[in-house]
Structure 1
Amino acid sequence: MPQPKIFISHTHTDQAVADAVRDAIFDLFGRESVSVAYSTSRELGGGVRIGEDWFRWIGEQVHAATVTLVLLTPTSVQKPWVLWEAGAVYGAALTSENSTLHRVRPLAFQIGMDDIPSPLRSSHAQVARGDQYEDVIQLLNEFVYDFFNNVTEKAVVIRAAQRVPDAAKTLLETVSEALRTSPLIPTEAIVNEWCARLDSLAEHHRHSEVRQLHEWLLVAFGQKEGNGAKPIDIRLHRRLAQLYMASAHYAEAAQQFDLARRLSPRDIFIMRSLGQAYLAQRNYSDTARVIDEINNLDPHAFMKNAECAALKGRWHREQDQHTEAHDIYWKAFQENSDSYYLGDLLATAKLQLGDRHGAANIYRRTLSIIERLTDRNFWVYATAANAAIVSGDRDSAIKYFSAIRNDNPSEADMQTIEGGLIRILPLLGATAEEMAEWKSLLHDGSAEEHED
């Protein structure tokens, strides 16, 4: 008589559950009377060997198995490989000499019957509850009955029958703990919950707390921080990246945008944000690579889109290529004539080229755009302040600075606004003392109060 063999089909993250099922079977029959195999088993001969053809190994296991258990957990029902293995199991069962679907037993843990994949739910295989004592007792008793004629020593089967209640109890306890500590999977409900937590940080300007929340997110999804991180969900990575950008942690932001891009490699919006994170680190080589990738997807992106134009123009500007930056801003402003953002960039580029008159003209056009806006934020006020400074209108600039502060920009946003101010003041011939005064007016209005 061939030795009874049980094959366990499971997803990698459910290895602890498969281990618990294996241990329960060995507790009943012993390791000498029954063999158990599954892909992640560390038992000698129980798992796929390094370098072995994984697909061939799966087919051989399901064809030779006396019975196959398909473990269905909140994790595995989201994975395609369990369905693939289940299909292989059914194919092997139907092509065997003694064909019977009794060889296939789906075993469900902590999921409802509606969550069971339809190919298994609509089949004739009986689904057992692996998290209910009565179902586990019944399943183990079936093993005792089915293996009676295949186990050489009948005393082994008799002892197994006596051990069923204790084995079932231990299995339930072990599986419960394994599932309790298993990593989350990115279901819609779980992703939405984490998105809400990240959105709350942004809404309440608690950007500096992102690192702690990120660490907890990695724990929940069973990941480690670093270059070995795997993409989870694009919405999570985008939100994390934006929070890291707002807290001026640009390397972490770039890593999160890169994970998002791996999930959506042709998303120009994500690529543009990744380029901005690289630029914030003065990583010009990686920024150039992103710019090339955007250009390959849409050669007109840097003319049609203000943010893309800003990315490429800043890349040139920070490498002292001011003529190239000016040309990019000019073409984009011609295509987006209602963009106060491009107007500010173009006017600054003209100042850097020594064209103060041209900068003043562009700022006048920009202020007319701003006057037509119904919704204004600190970016609008920052542009208006720059225009007022270039025009020599100190009082208006001070008024716009106050509006910026009242809008509560993040630390990183305030640094960006200050960076724009620092760029234009030397171009207007401001002294170090005057620059310090303007910075003070921007941040707290102290220079204004001193004058009063």
Structure 2
Amino acid sequence: MNVVNDDGKPSIFISHTEADGAIANAVSEAVTALFGAGAVSVVYSTSRELGGGVQFGENWFQWITTQVRTATVTLVLLTPTSVHKPWVLWEAGAVYGAALAEPQARLRSVRPIAFHIGMNDIPSPLLNSHAHIARGDTFSDVRLLLNEFIEQFSSDPASTIRAAQNVERAVTHWLNTVAEALRTAPLTPTEPIVNEWCERLDALATSDRASEVRQVHEWLLVAFGQKEGIEERPIDIRLHRRLAQLYMATKRYQEAAEQFEMARRLSPRDLFVLRSLGQAYIDCQNYESAEKILNSIAELSPKAFVKNVECAALKGRWLREQDRIAEARETYAAAFSANPASYYLADLLGMSELQLGRTEDAARVYRQAMQIIDRLVERNVWVNATAATAAVVSGELNRVVEYLQAVRTHNPTDAEVETIVQGLQRLQRPLNIPPEQIASWRATLQG
């Protein structure tokens, strides 16, 4: 039966993702090679032919609905990219619904075509639809499909003969063009590909090459088909978190925040992502955006700033960097009360007390910090450094050297030694520590 649309010509609607536009072009060119220009109307969203695609300003949803209702045949392109996109499945479902609504259900009008994927990769709604799934990358299946088009679309014996003579050439053009399109197609974020890129980013971190992150980031965008100058789209949360962490390591905090925002778009309720995003905003002194993140955390978990140590530290830092020390102190105190085994919170609370001039309260809190640390089985550079600070503030100067010598056993880097000394120097003025005492502690750290 020769089914035609409103303009009197048979029509083919190609359902595809934007990334598979080159494959849709190849199919359209093959149909033209078969029947001649204009004999069959081929419509798809990325078409550049006049009237062949969605027009600027046109309602996208309405355009799609019209195409799937009026098409003589709909080809659903299933590629390594499209099988991960819900939009193609929606279009296919709309086509099936329209076909079933016809008086003589035209289920044959829906033709899924698979390219470079196995049957196990085909989404179950299509796999279970009883539609014949053709291979768009084999000569025999493409030739069979084009011969079916000839049988369905040719209006007279003469046009049938002409089309039949063009089959071999049309199949060859189809396969060659599709092969090139697939070869140059953007990567799809499948598990093996994402894992490979994660390994590349991890290698930068473990080999102290974080400074190269921008170049690798640019290559990643190229590989996944994202063009320079166009707003970046989320790919996979693992990639964006790693990129953000590398940017943080190189103190490129704005870029880090942008990548954490990508991760947030993929997982908007992930408190770990939100907390890291808030930290990046504070690092680049974007306190307004950081406040919005803090509010989002509070909406998702109202007690996060009391129960969670890291969230409390984040909010306290946000307050402290805006000279709201008393409010930061209240945040740390509430969290420390709920987490009495956290030497980290004790350190933050004790330092806030010291900044507020409450020396005795600071000493009391830091004595608690020392008790917590002394009970720990495993310690690292920063745990022992915190203990040294606690000993200084609580007045147990005889124990400061003990903790600094413990730091020394972990072979701290010069940068770590300098950071610890700077922390001790911040105690110099409020506690009236003589300069020669600081010099002595530095000597202990340096061995």
TM-score range with shorter-chain normalisation? 0.7 to 0.9
- TM-score normalised over the length of structure 1: 0.87
In structure 2, relative to structure 1, the CA distance for the partners of 1:282 and 1:34 (3 Å cut) is same
Q: CA deviation at 1:102?
A: 2.1
Partner Cα distance (1:355, 1:188) in 2:
54
Task: State the Cα distance separating 1:121 from its structure 2 match.
Answer: 1.6
Mapped to 1, the partners of 2:228 and 2:39 lie a distance apart of 44
After TM superposition, give the deviation of residue 73 of structure 1 in Å.
Answer: 0.6
Is the 1:401–1:441 Cα contact (8 Å) retained in structure 2? Answer: no
Residue correspondence of structure 1 range 63-142 to structure 2 within 5 A:
63-142=69-148
Q: What is the Cα deviation at residue 389 of structure 1?
A: 4.3
Q: Please give the alpha-carbon distance, in whole angstroms, between the structure 1 residues aligned to 2:178 and 2:340.
A: 63
Q: Could you say which residue in structure 2 is the equivalent of 1:309?
A: 312
Q: Following TM superposition, by how much is the alpha carbon of 1:367 offset from its aligned partner in structure 2, in angstroms?
A: 2.0
Alpha-carbon deviations, 1:213-248, whole Å to 9, x = none? 322222222225789222222222222222222232
- Counterpart residue number, 1:160: 163
Superimposed CA distance per residue, residues 236-290 of structure 1 (whole angstroms, 9 cap, x where no aligned partner): 2222222222232211111111222222223332222111111112222222222
Deviation of the 1:341 alpha carbon: 0.6
**Cα distance in 2 for residues equivalent to 1:245 and 1:423:** 25
2:229 and 2:217 map into 1 onto residues whose CA distance is 12
Report the alpha carbon displacement of residue 416 of structure 1 after superposing the two structures with TM. 7.1
Looking at structure 1, the residues matched to 149 and 421 of structure 2 have their Cα atoms a distance apart, in angstroms, of 73
How far apart are residue 110 of structure 1 and its match? Answer: 0.6
Q: Provide the rounded CA distance (Å) in 2 between the counterparts of 1:369 and 1:205.
A: 33
Cα deviation for residue 205 of structure 1 reads 4.3
Q: Report the CA distance shift for 1:229/1:385 in structure 2 as closer, same or farther (over 3 A).
A: farther
Offset of residue 112 of structure 1? 0.4
| Secondary structure at 2:42 match in 1 | strand
Residues 1:337 and 2:340 aligned together: yes
Cα 1:249/1:415, change in 2 over 3 Å: farther
Misfit runs of 4+, over 6 Å: 413-416, 431-442
Distance 2:323 2:293 in 1: 19
8 A Cα contact 2:367 2:391, kept in partner:
no
- Amino acid of the structure 2 residue aligned with 1:48: V
- The one-letter code matched in structure 2 to 1:142 is E
Listed as ranges, the gaps of 5+ residues in structure 1 are: none
CA distance in 1: counterparts of 2:418 and 2:16, whole angstroms = 51
* Contact 2:401/2:444, CA 8 A, preserved across alignment: no
1:229 is matched with which residue? 232
Measure, in 2, the Cα distance between the counterparts of 1:83 and 1:380. Answer: 54
1:59–1:92 CA contact under 8 A, matched in 2: no
C-alpha RMSD of matched pairs (Å) = 2.9
Partner of 1:16: 22
Change (3 A) 1:120 1:364: same
Please report how far the alpha carbon of residue 157 of structure 1 lies from its aligned counterpart in structure 2 after TM superposition: 4.0
Q: Is the 8 A contact 1:237 1:256 kept in 2?
A: yes
The Cα shift of 1:17 comes to: 0.9
Map of 1:145 onto structure 2:
151
Cα distance change of structure 1 residues 216 and 418 upon mapping to structure 2, 3 Å threshold: farther
Q: Please tell me whether residue 384 in structure 1 is matched to residue 390 in structure 2.
A: no
Contact 1:15–1:40 under 8 Å retained in 2: yes
The Cα shift of 1:404 comes to 5.5
Secondary structure of 2:112's counterpart equals strand
**1:180 maps onto 2:190 in alignment:** no
Decide whether the 8 Å contact of 1:385 with 1:400 is kept in 2: no
What is the alpha-carbon distance in structure 2 between the residues aligned to residue 183 and residue 414 of structure 1? 47
CA contact (8 A) 2:388 2:401 kept: no
Find out whether 1:25 has 2:31 as its counterpart: yes
Aligned to 1:372: 375
Aligned partner of 2:279 in structure 1 is 276
Please give the per-residue CA displacement for 1:9-31, whole angstroms capped at 9, x wherever unaligned.
Answer: 11222111111111111122222
TM-aligned CA distance change 1:69 to 1:414, over 3 Å: farther
Q: Which residue of structure 2 lines up, in the alignment, with residue 292 of structure 1?
A: 295
Matches within 5 A, 1:185-196: 185-196=188-199
Choose the corresponding residue for 1:6, options 8, 12, 16.
12
Tell me the TM-score normalized by structure 2. 0.88
CA positional deviation for 1:195: 2.8
Structure 1 partner of 2:353: 350
User: What CA distance in whole angstroms lies between the structure 2 residues aligned with 1:219 and 1:414?
Assistant: 41
CA displacement, residues 117-167 of structure 1 (integer Å, 9 cap, x when unaligned): 222222232111011122112212222232222x6xx55543332222222
Q: Which amino acid aligns with 2:72?
A: T
- Structure 2 distance, partners of 1:121, 1:43, is 32
Return 105-114 or 198-207, whichever deviates more. Answer: 198-207
For the 8 Å contact 2:385–2:404, the answer to whether it is kept is no
Paired residue total? 438
